[in-house]
Each structure stands twice: as C-alpha cells, then as structure tokens.
Structure 1
Amino acid sequence: MKIKLFTFLFAFTISLTVIAQSAKKQVKSLDDYIENALTVWNPPGLAVTVVKDGEIVFTKGYGERTLGEGNHVNEHTLFGCMSTTKAFTAAAIAILIDEGKLNWDDHVINYLPDFQLYDPYMTRELTVKDLLTHRSGIGNTDYLWSWMKISGDSALYKMRDVKPSYSLRSSFIYQNLMYLAAGKVIEKVSEQSWGSFLKNRIYIPLGMNETFAKYEMVKDKENKADAHFPYQGEIVKIDQLVADEIGPAGSMWSSINDIGKWVKFLLNNGIHHGDTLISNKNFKELFKPQQIIPTNEFYPTQKLTKPNWMTYGLGWFQHDYRGKMVQFHTGSLPGMVAIVGLIPEENIGVYVMGNLDHVELRHAIMYTVFDLFLDGEITRDWSTEFNKLYANNTKPGDPKRILETSASLPIIKLLGTYKHKQYGNIEIIKTEQGIRFNLNNTVKGTLSHWHYDTYNITFDLKPYGKAMLTFRMNAEANAGYLEIFGERFEYIKLKE
C-alpha cells in the first residue's frame, strides 16, 4: 500500500513539474511576443495579466507612464478601466438580486421614479436587465456627459428629450447612460454610493487594494499612467478625460496586479477562497447571451476572427472563437485603453491596459493568449494582422471640397449663440485667434471656411480632431440655425 501511495505521489509531483515547466515556457514566449509587438504599435506604456487554471501565471508592466520621462510601468501602475467597469456594475446588481432586494426583470421606474424617457411606453416597461444589455433603443448620448459640464443626474434628466432610434429590445445600440442609471438603482437599493458598494462587496473581499471607483480618487497618485494621443506623426501626452459623472459605465481605475484578482474570481464562478460572492444562478446569468449584435455594431477584428455569432450579455461582449465561447469587453477613453477576455470553459483569462489612444494591440494580445493556451504555443501573428487591419480601417476623410465658393453671409453676421435643448449652447465669437467655436465652455475650436456655408472646426483638444459645421439661413436671409454632429442648434442672439 505504501509503495502504491509513493508511486502515485511521485508521478503526481512529476506531472506538476512538467505542467509548471510548460507554463513557464508559454509565459516566456508571450513576454517575447509582447516585447516585439510593442515596437510595432508604440504605446508609451502597457500592462498585462494572464490567468490560467485558477492561477495568475503572468503579470508585467512595459514602457513608461509618461512618454519620455523614464517613469516605468510596473504591476502596481494605475490605468483607467473605462468600459470594463460595466462588468463590475452588472456583478453588483447580481449581488443585490442574491439578497432579494431586486430582480433582473423589475421595472426601473419602481426604483427611479424621476427617470423618464421620451417614449412613455419605454419609461414604463424598461427593466433592470435592459439597462445592462444596450437594448433600450436609445442611441449614443455621450455628448451629454463628455461635451457638457453637467452632473450625471442632469444627463439622466435630459434623456427624456432624446428620441429613440429603435423600439425597446428590438436592436443592440451601445448606451453608456443606461449603465449610469443601473448605478443609481444600486445606490437606491443598497443605500450607499455605487463606488462604496463596489469597494465593500467586491474590492475588499477580493483584496483589490489598488482599485478605485473614480478618477478623483487617483488623480494625485504618482504611480498612475498618463493618457497619450497620436498627433501629426507624434505621440503626445493629453489631459485625461474624466468619466466620473457616468461612473458605473466606465470610471474605475486599477493596477494590473489588482485586476488579475478580478479575472481569477470570474474564472472561479464568483467564488473567492471558498466564499461565494455571487450565487451560481446569478453568476451564470451575467454571461448568458441577452442581445444579438449586428455586424455593423461589432469590432473590426471580426474580419479576421470570423465569428459565426455575436451577442451581448450583462456587461460582456460574446462571440465564438475556435469553437469556444469568448466573453470580453474593451474600455476606451481618449488616450487610454483596456480589454478583458475570458474563455471560461478552458479557464483562460487575460486583461490588458494601455496609455495610447485606441492601441489595438490589446486585441492582438487577447487572441494570442487564447491561442497560446489552446495550442500550447503562439500559432498566429495577431499583432501584425490587426495592425494592417486597423491601418486600412481608416475613417472617411473630409467631404469633397467645392472650390471657389463663398458663404451666403459674412461670418461676422453669423456670430452669436445657438441653442440645443439637449446639448446646450454653442457660441460663435470673433477673437484675436480668429473665429472661435465654444460648446458649453467645454469643447472649443477655431473655424475656417470650407465651402458655401460649411466651416471646418479644428478643436483645441487633440483627440477631437476636426468636424464640419454648416450654417442655415432663415426666411429673412439672416442666421437661422447651425448643424453639427447631425444635430440642429437654433440661433438665439447676437454675441456682443
């Protein structure tokens, strides 16, 4: 009996040694691959963690927090999580459902009686689950928070003036403010702030001591990555766009050391060190497909990964990859990116953080990690393929310019304030810098004539680039309104 036991233990030890050596070899090949890919994409800084079979097998920072300053990224450097925050918000809802304080199909109006939508039917029938699945039918309203200095509550109030693009639950359309509303439900039910609830029920139990609900809590910390943007052939540091007013949709900050604990928890079905933080029933609900995603609403990566189906769960994008179900989500703000990806049935998880605007190396690393642990080696150069894909996936250029045209009125006659019920005021003023554009004292730029009554705006904030603005005259051939971003701003007075 002792001989058999010794033989078993010896074989088991050898097996563990082989597995450990294999994992070490795989991690080394991943590290080498990332180092090489960094020379192609050139982000100032990057951080990566990988979880396999219940263990964090790789955590590393690369590059600098601020380009050219030599302040190296390490595993404790703080990056923005952006929309990967949404999974935390959905998990918080699941915890409250476990406690019997609400249900997925409860009507939002029962908890937020002041939350009104344009369509009374939508107001009445919108459910908690609808808030988390981007199926409200209301189009992008990010201008309400990113281009206006208003509170999250004020942005939600303005939703009553937004006409829906689709009927309720008929189509997928990405909606950040619905996650803000979900956060308000959490606050109403739990009687504490959304951030406090996450800290008490997720961060602290998981030992996530370097994770924060809002930028306000990290802005003065030294070991924090700065946002960067490619501008006129160079990479430049830019001011951080703050998403605190829509916190539940994307305001979290964390380190790669901490976020690995979250990925490990997700792959362990909501259990941490034997403690069940989310019941099996509601944990599974987070990852069930809830809404089909049309091709035009998905990532360009689909051109190469070729999924057969694409869906959205509760804070998770989903698609098939090599016969496996992938759960993932990106996060983006100007100058900052993140991605989290899971193949739960294979116990594979990866999280990537970076500080360069839309550096899609994040996708390449995710699929490389999947391949590495599915095949035992890196079998495809996703970095090179995605780099070519995104280089060719450029935005349409400026509309064709008609030369030798003039405006209906001199620009001096068009100075003044233009008002929009939802998006606030635009001022067109004359300064020493030229003709200036000012949206809510938040977004500013300089106008130059393009053709006829259309003007080109070069924004002061580099990430915003340029936009076209067209003036329209009234029946008396005076300033009537202007059009920008597909919206109409009515002229209300001359700017003195």
Structure 2
Amino acid sequence: MFRSAFAATLLIASPAAAQQLTAEQAAKVDTIVADALKSSGVPSASVAIVRDGKIVFTKAYGDQGPGIRNGPDANARYQIASVSKQFTAAAILLLADEGKLNLDDKVSKWVPDVTDADTITIRQLLSHTAGLQDYWPQDYSFKAMETPVTPQQIVDRWAKKPLDFAPGTAWQYSNTGYVVAGMIIEKASGQKLLDYLDARIFKPLGMHPVDQDKAIGKGFPQGTHRYALGPVRPAKPAADGWLWAAGELAMSAADLAKWDIARIDRTVLPAKDWAVQETEVKLNDGAPTHYGLGVSIGEHGGKKEISHGGEAVGFLSSNVVIPEARFAVVSLVSADFGGAHEAIAEGITDLLLPVEKPATASLDQQRDALARTLFDQLRTGTPDRSLMTEDANYFFDATALGDYRASLSPLGEPLAFEPIGKARLRGGFVNRNYRIRYKDRQLIAITYAEPGATGKFEQFLVMPR
C-alpha cells in the first residue's frame, strides 16, 4: 500500500541557498508538486531548482516506496531514462575532442552490420535523423523486455531492418540509434560506457549516478504504474540491458542539477561542445527538427530552452535548462503514468520565469474519431481487438481491462475528447495524445498507431492529467 502523496516532505538545502527562493515561492513550489501528485495519483516526486547558476532548492515529496525507510529522501536516485541521452551524446563529443572519432564518421566505420551503415553518420544517430526504427516506442514494457538483452541483440532485431527513411530526410525519435552510439563509444574509448562517463563527467562534477538496471530495491524509489484510473501498482522492472545508452542512468535530482549548472557555466565539456549539442540539426531540405544532440531545443520567453524527458518502467522525468537565464528545474517521479513530472517542471518554470504559452495545433479528425471509439470500448471493457496490434492485445490482459472498466465506466460519458499537440512519427507508429474532460477531472490518453486512417493501435494508455 502506498501512503498519501502528502506524507511528510524532506528539504535538503542549506539555509543560505534556500533563501534565494522567498518563503512564498517555496510554498508555491510545494503547492505545485502537491497538486500534481494528488491529481495524478503519482506516489512521489523529487525536485531540484537552479537559479543564478546555483542549486537553491531540493526537496522530495510523498511515498518513495519500501526501499526508502525514513521518509522521502531528496538524495534518492530515480531512473532518469532518456534524459541520459545527453550524457551519451556528450561522450561522443569528448571522444571527438580526443581525435578518436568524428561526428560525421559513417556508422559503417564502427558498427558495419547496421542497415545502410555507410549512409548514416554519428551526428544523425544522436539527432534522431538516421532513419533507424525505434525499438521502444511504447509507454509500457512489451513481452520481449522480460528477458535480458545485449546491445548487439537490439541491433540484430531493429537496426538491421530497412530504414524508415533516408538519413537526414526526416526526424523520428529512435532509442535504437543511441544503442548504436553507445557501441561506438565503447569501441572508440576502449572502456565501458559508464566507466567513460564516470571518469570524464561524473567524478569531475561530484555526481554519483548508478546504472539504472541496478537502481532497484533497498535505497531506491519504487517505480509504479496504473491501468487507467485503477489502483497504483508496483511496476515490474524491465530485464537488464533494455535502456543502456538510450537511458542508462539513475541519479538524484541534485546530481542532475549539477550537470545543468555545468551546461550553464560551460564547464566539464569545452564551450564549443556545449554549443554543438545545443545547435538544432536541420534536415537535408533545411526543415527544422527542434533537436540537437541528445537534447530538445525550444524557447521560453524569447530565450533558448534546452530540455529532455525520460521514461523508464515505473519512472518519468523532466529536465529543463534555460542557460541565458541561468535557470534549471529537475522533476523526477516514481510513476510511468500521468503528467506529474511535466506539470511540476512547467509549473515551477512558469512560477519563476513566467511567460504566455502558445496555443496547440489540431489533429486529423479521422484518427481522432477512431481513438474516441476505442476509448469508449475500453471504458466498458469490450475493445474491438481487431483495432489493436499484437503488442497492444498483449498489454490489455484481464487485469488491465478490468482496471480500465472498473475505473472509467463509473465516470460516464466525457464532456470532451480533445486532441493535444501534433501527430509525431516514432518507431514506425504515429503518436497522438488526447485530453478527456469530465465535470470534475481531466484524463489524458497517449496513443500510438500504425500509419494511415485505419492503422491499428499499438498503444492506448489512459491516465490522470
């Protein structure tokens, strides 16, 4: 049983540093986190805030699970998953500085058994423009993830398929590309990936991350998941090896904030490497990707925003840095459902650097209607399984369907079923998300489907918003 998300909180920050947030601001941060945990049902969160290039606030909230015995611990190491990609990319940049490789090397020089390896560059691997199909587009662990895997096995199954597009002609998030990049790091450095990162980045910054595969049990937060609005359940971790160079790290919010400060101050990596990582990679036709090397690139109040999210089995994370404002916020949660991590990061950013948000775009009406149809079927526990892929049918077993029916059916008809954002290609599927509004609550549906008007759904996750 998970205790209330409003259990006692722990503040780990020196009095002098904490004074840089006013008492009113600190109280508002507490409210932002508490509201996000309450509305989503997420058991715990850990937060760090950087202002003026210094950590001014770290705090853990809620129930981190049986592995944390003495209340919420701000030093607990959460699995940060794809936020790790910027560290993998940084390792490549450092190896380029050492003259051991070049960002524009062809992959065939290092991992020749990848499809069309002689047409893909290392830069394209890191910017998700290589065309390699993503091996984990789902927001749940599929059947194969019950068995340990090696990087070579991931390459053999996914990186030897035909490319989804010619390198440089499109952008598609691909964990597969980062596994290949990790293999290149180990070949070029002669070291294990984590050993190289430890020597070149973690020790110089006083960081103490661990392999996320080992961040389980005593001393670590318990990851959780939830089927629709059913009970919060402990998440069964994926077997070893599935995230590796695509999401290999577990660390505290404060440790990730130390890396954010290095980004702000241009330390550990040469300034030119930070600039390269934060430069948007354009497609061959000049179209934008809004992505650099392991980081997303946006703007906040007219200033460049460097960010990334992460998802492991049972965990979600958000890391936002606005270098020009010397500001960063880290939000880590022990759940792979809901949007608490983003609500916390966005809420704190808007609190301390307020700007007006742009409106979102509309989506394809035909797919929206099909998504609404499947949602209505799931809330009654009677999905048309022909609308779903083999993996989605595996996910919707008796437990999942029971939780969906028991938690959604009592809500009745929603007031609205509205698209959020734009459709995005990933792992050969199209991602579309929906806001589901009731009188006294909002839900979100995160869907992946095969391309086309009648493509089958690979994923249909419903969770609190």
Please confirm whether the aligned pair reaches a TM-score higher than 0.5, indicating the same fold. yes
Instruction: Determine the structure 2 residue equivalent to 1:78.
Output: 77
Q: Which residue of 2 aligns with 1:476?
A: none
Change (3 A) 1:346 1:398: same
User: Residues 243 and 250 of structure 1 are in contact (CA less than 8 Å); yes or no, is this contact kept in structure 2?
Assistant: no
> What's the counterpart of residue 459 of structure 1?
397
Question: Secondary structure, in 3 states, of the residue corresponding to 2:310?
Answer: strand
1:81-100 residue pairs with structure 2 within 5 A?
81-100=80-99
Secondary structure of 2:211's match?
coil
Q: 1:127 aligned to 114, 121, 126, which one? A: 121
CA shift in 2, pair 1:323/1:454, >3 Å: closer
| 8 Å Cα contact 1:105/1:128 also seen in 2 | yes
Per the TM alignment, residue 245 of structure 1 is displaced from its structure 2 partner at its CA by: 3.6
Unaligned runs of 5+ in 1: 1-16, 272-276, 294-308, 387-391, 402-446, 467-483, 488-496
- Correspondence list, 1:272-421, <5 A: 277-291=268-282, 311-375=290-354, 396-398=372-374
* Partner SS for 1:234: coil
Number of aligned residue pairs: 371
Task: Please say if residues 67 and 221 of structure 2, whose CA atoms lie closer than 8 Å, have aligned partners that are also in contact.
Answer: no
| Superposition deviation, residue 259 in structure 1 | 1.9
Per the alignment, in what secondary structure is the counterpart of residue 311 of structure 1? coil
- The amino acid of 2:352's aligned partner reads F
> What's the CA shift string for 1:390-416, capped at 9, x where partnerless?
xx9995553999xxxxxxxxxxxxxxx
Report the counterpart of residue 10 of structure 1 in structure 2: none
* Number of the residue aligned with 2:263: 266
Instruction: Look up the match of 1:139.
Output: 133
Q: Which moved more, 1:33-42 or 1:314-323?
A: 33-42
Task: Spell out the pairing of 1:21-100 with structure 2 (5 A cutoff).
Answer: 23=22, 25-66=24-65, 72-100=71-99
Contact 1:310 1:320 in 2 (8 A): no
- Distance (Å, rounded) in 1 between the aligned partners of 2:371 and 2:387: 24
Q: Which has the larger Rg?
A: 1
TM-score by length of 2: 0.70
Cα distance in 1 for residues equivalent to 2:352 and 2:311: 27
Deviations 1:336-366 (A, max 9, x none): 1001011111111111110122331222222
After superposition, the C-alpha distances for 1:294-335 in whole angstroms (9 at most, x for unaligned) are xxxxxxxxxxxxxxx760110111122322221111101332
Check 1:43–1:71 CA distance in 2 against 1; reply closer, same or farther (3 A cut).
farther
**Counterparts of residues 163-312 of structure 1 (less than 5 Å):** 163-209=162-208, 211-215=209-213, 217-231=214-228, 233-242=230-239, 244-269=241-266, 271=267, 277-291=268-282, 311-312=290-291
CA distance in 2, matches of 1:24, 1:261: 24
Which residue type is aligned with residue 198 of structure 1?
L
Is the 1:83–1:249 Cα contact (8 Å) retained in structure 2? yes
Q: Which amino acid aligns with 1:95?
A: L
Structure holding more strand per residue: 1
Give secondary structure in 1 for the equivalent of 2:304.
Answer: strand
Q: More deviation in 88-97 or 448-457? A: 448-457
Task: Tell me the amino acid that sits aligned with residue 130 of structure 2.
Answer: S
Q: Which residue of 2 aligns with 1:112?
A: 111
Show CA shifts across 1:235-281 (max 9, x none). Answer: 22221224634411012111123222122212211x1xxxxx21111
